[in-house]
């Protein structure tokens, strides 16, 4: 299955991590480009992160000890600031 991340938008794909031993509990995906980008879901391996970075996406993995909400808000504020500039 594929999702489309619209230009200058942010999404969380934590619900699509299906690997039990995956080191992250969530992943924040930011599309800073002017074009929509398709991403593959579900997520099975760490190779997903690097592969999608090569597409131009900004990937922020969230570990168990990280605060998801504050990280998401920080990324959202950053992408909104880029839209203004």
- Number of domains making up the chain: 1
Residue 56: left if φ>0, alpha if ψ -120 to 50, beta else—which one?
Answer: left
Query: Cβ neighbours of residue 25 under 8 Å, at least 6 residues apart?
Result: 14, 17, 62, 63, 64, 68
Is the pTM above the cut of 0.85? yes
28's tokens: 């924040």
pLDDT of residue 74: 96
46's tokens: 């760490």
Q: Which domain holds residue 20?
A: 2-84
pLDDT of residue 82: 83
pLDDT in tens, the chain (85 residues): 999 999 999 999 998 988 878 899 999 999 999 999 999 999 988 899 999 999 999 999 999 999 999 999 999 999 988 877 6
């Amino acid at each position: 299955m594929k999702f489309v991340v619209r230009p200058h938008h942010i999404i969380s794909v934590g619900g699509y991590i299906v690997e039990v031993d995956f080191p992250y509990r969530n992943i924040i995906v930011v599309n800073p480009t002017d074009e929509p980008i398709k991403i593959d879901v579900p997520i099975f391996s760490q190779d997903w992160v690097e592969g999608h970075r090569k597409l131009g996406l900004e990937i922020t993995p969230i570990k168990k000890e990280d605060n998801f909400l504050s990280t998401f808000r920080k990324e959202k504020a950053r992408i909104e600031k880029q839209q203004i500039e």
